[in-house]
Each structure stands twice: as structure tokens, then as C-alpha cells.
Structure 1
Amino acid sequence: MKSVTGQSAFTIRSTETDQNGQATLSALVGYMQEAAWDNTATMGISMYELLERGLTWVLQRIRIEMFRYPRHREKITVETWASGRERVFLHRDFRVYSADRELLGQATSVWLVMDVVKRQMVSVPDFITAVEVVPGAEPLPFAKGKLPQIEKPLYEQHMPVRWHDIDLNRHVTNTRYLQWVLETLPTEVLEKQQLSEIDIIFKAESTLGDTVTASAGPAEEEAGTFLHKLISLASGKELVQAETKFRSLRI
């Protein structure tokens, strides 16, 4: 079987918008993941098919560029396709379009397969590698390489892990991590600027009852760029590392 491009349609709901009536990034990432689920289901390798074998998909990294954020009630289409495979890393791209085919944003992501009992990453099983990767469009550059570490964190918050932070994989959902990364920044940044790019690496699990310490600080060499990390207070493990870039707010 060959991989195919998927198209999933969504309408921005009021509960998924910010104070300016624009879709939040976590909502858009949720749409991307729903589109990925739809696409993998057509090939028999969705999360449900993996769970039947004691396995699951785990998002390891995603790099997103947003050109314009859709507004409440705006209809969008998310196109997605498998864009490559490297050892245990499976790459997937996304493009988000308006109703008139304006490119609103794009992303490239990296996925792993996890054993749900052992909570360990495993080699990509044969029933997944049997699907020939045929990118639906020119692949975006793979998200790889290291991100710079925070030299001088200026902002810090503590986030207790609660019931509604947990997903089907029984750990903190990646969109909640994304929210915590952004919420660490001061209000004046979030009010007066708009996120244009994010590169976020998910390194470890956090589960119910943990407390996550989120820290952030400006990058020294690039204005409007911030570096982030999330750490488990209980284990001391680094859970997430990210880099964000902001531009002047567009409404």
C-alpha cells in the first residue's frame, strides 16, 4: 500500500479562539492531529489500530509556521501526508488552507511508536513500514537538530498536572504542553505580539499528580525570539524544549 494525502475540514469554534477572535495555536495543532488521525485511518495505521497491538503514536517534535490565524466560524482545510522515514522517526507534514485556498500555515512533525505497557519507544513495526511513503507535496525540511538552551530564564511558572491535562496515552497531552510553553511568557508579549513560528520537542512524559516547572527567556541574538523548557518537579526530567518567534499582532 502507498501512503495518500488526507484532507480534513474544520470550522473554528468560539471556544477555540483567543481574545481577538482568532484560533489559538493549540486549537490548530489539535486540528492537525485530528487530520493525521483521519489520514492514518485510511491506511489502517491509526492510533486505534496501534492500540490493538499494545502500541501507540507519540508526537516527538513539531515545527510550525503561521502566516495568518483563522477567525471564529472560518472554515479551514488541513492537508497532511507522510513525508519521510528515518530509522524510528516518521515524518508528517501539514498545510492549513482557508476556504479560498489561502495558505494560513504549515508544519512538519516527527512521530515515534511507543509500547503502551513498557512506556518505551520501539522500532517501527512491519505493518507500518509496509506502507510506502509517497509525499503529497514537496516535503518541508525535516525538523531535526538541537535547539539552543536557555541561558538566562526570566519567567517561571509551576503547572500542576490535573485530570483534564491527560490524554488517551495516559500522559499530559502535547497541546497542554504547548499552552504551558506560551503561558510562561509575560502578558504584554502575548497581548501585543503574535506567534509566527514555534519549534517544540517533546522529550519525556508527565502524568497525573506531577507538577511541571515552565521557564522561558529571550534569545540573546534575535529580537522577538524566546527559548523555553518544561521540567518535571518530581523527577527533574526535562519534558519539553522549545523556541518561539513573535511578530507584531495582526488582527
Structure 2
Amino acid sequence: MKSMTGQSAFTVRSTETDQNGQATLPALVGYMQEAAWDNTATMGISMYELLERDLTWVLQRMRVEMFRYPRHREKIVVETWASGRERVFLHRDFRVYGADRELLGQATSVWLVMDVVKRQLVSVPDFITAVEVVPGQEPLPFAKGKLPQLEEVRYEQRMPVRWHDIDLNRHVTNTRYLQWVLETLPPEILEKQQLKEIDIIFNAESALGDKVIATAGPTHELDVFLHKLTSSETGKELVQARTKFGS
């Protein structure tokens, strides 16, 4: 079987918008993941098919670039396709369109396969590699390389992991991690500027009852910040991210 491009339509709901009536980035990433689920289901490799084998998809990295945020009740289409495979890393791209095929944003992502019983990453199984990767469009540059380390911590918050933070994989959902990364910045930054880009790496999982320390600080680049989420219990780095804001 060959992979194929998927298209999923969404309407921005009021509960998914910010104080300006625009869709939040966590909401948009949520749409992208729903589109990915729809697309993998057509090939028999959705999360449900993996869970039947005690396996699951895990998002390892995502780089998102937004040109315009859709508003409440705006209809959008998310296109997604498998864009490449490197050893255990499976790449998937997204493009978000508004009316008249206006390109609102785009993203590239890296996925791994995890054994849900052993909580360990595994080699990509044969039933997934049997799906031939045929990129639907020109692949975006793969998200690779290390992010700079956060050295100057200027902002810090502590986030307890609660019931509604947990997803089907029984760990903190990646959109909640994304939300915590952004909420570490003060309102004066979030209110006055628009998030243009984010590159986020998911390094480890956290579970119900954990406490997460969220830190952030500026870089030498204007309107660019580095972020880190850390487990207060183990000291393990959970998430690393770089954000870029603009007018």
C-alpha cells in the first residue's frame, strides 16, 4: 500500500480561541493531530490499530510556522501526508488552508512508535514500514538538530499534572505541554505579539500526579525565547522549545 494525502475539515469553535477570537496554537496543533489520525486510519495504521498490538504513536518533535490565525467559526482544511522515514523516525507534514486556499500555516513533525506496556520506544514494525511513503507535496525541511540550551531563566511556573492533562497514551498530552510552554511567558508578551514559529521537542513523558517546572527566557535574537519543561520529581527534561514572536 502507498501512503496518501489526507484532508480534514474543521470549524474553529469558541472554546478554542483566545481573547482576540483567534484559534490558539494548541487548538491548531490539535486539528493537525486529528487530521493525522484520519489519514493513518485510511492506511490501517491509526493509533487504534497500534493499540491492538500494545503499540502507539508518539510525537517526538514538531516545528510550526503560522502566517495567519483563523478566527472563531472560520472553516479551515488541514492537509497532511507522510513525508519521509529515517530509521525509527517517521516524518509527517501539514498545511492549514482557509477560504480560497489561503495558506494559513504549515508544520513538519517527527513520530516514533512506543510499546505501551513496557513504556519503551521500539523499532518501526513491519506493518507500518509496509506502507510506502509517497509525499503528497514537496516535503518541508525535516525538523533536525539540537535546540540551544536555556541559560537565562527569566520566567518560571509550576504545573501540577491533573486528570484532564492525560491522553489516550496515559501521559500528558503534547498539546498540554505546548500550552504550558507558551503560558510561561508573561501576558504582556502574549497580548502584544503574535506567535509566528515554534520548534518543540518532546523528550520524556509525565503522568498523573507529577509536577512540572516550566521555565523560559530570552535569547540574543529579538522576540525569540527558549523554553524548558522539567519534572520536579526526577529532574528529567520533558520538553525543550524555541518560540519566535512578531507583529
Give the TM-score category using the shorter length: over 0.9
C-alpha distance in 1 between matches for 2:60 and 2:99: 30
- The residue aligned with 2:240 is 241
1:114 matches 2:114: yes
Counting only pairs closer than 5 Å after superposition, residues 202-217 of structure 1 correspond to structure 2 as: 202-217=202-217
SS of the residue aligned with 1:3?
coil
Counting only pairs closer than 5 Å after superposition, residues 131-142 of structure 1 correspond to structure 2 as: 131-142=131-142
Matched-pair identity in %: 86
SS of the residue aligned with 2:101?
coil
- The residue aligned with 1:227 is 226
- TM-score, normalised with respect to structure 1: 0.98
Counting only pairs closer than 5 Å after superposition, residues 1-251 of structure 1 correspond to structure 2 as: 1-220=1-220, 222-248=221-247
C-alpha distance in 2 between matches for 1:123 and 1:27: 30
C-alpha distance in 2 between matches for 1:15 and 1:186: 21
Structure 2 portions without partners, runs of 5+ = none
Any idea what the Cα deviations from partners look like across 1:153-202, whole Å, max 9, x if unmatched?
Answer: 10000000000000000000000000000000011000000100000000
C-alpha distance in 1 between matches for 2:132 and 2:141: 19
Give 4+ residue runs of structure 1 displaced > 2 Å after superposition: none
C-alpha distance in 1 between matches for 2:168 and 2:231: 20
SS of the residue aligned with 1:22?
coil
Q: What displacement does 1:99 show?
A: 2.1
- TM-score, normalised with respect to structure 2: 1.00
Q: What displacement does 1:151 show?
A: 1.3
Q: CA RMSD in A?
A: 0.4
SS of the residue aligned with 1:76?
strand
C-alpha distance in 2 between matches for 1:80 and 1:204: 25
C-alpha distance in 1 between matches for 2:198 and 2:63: 6
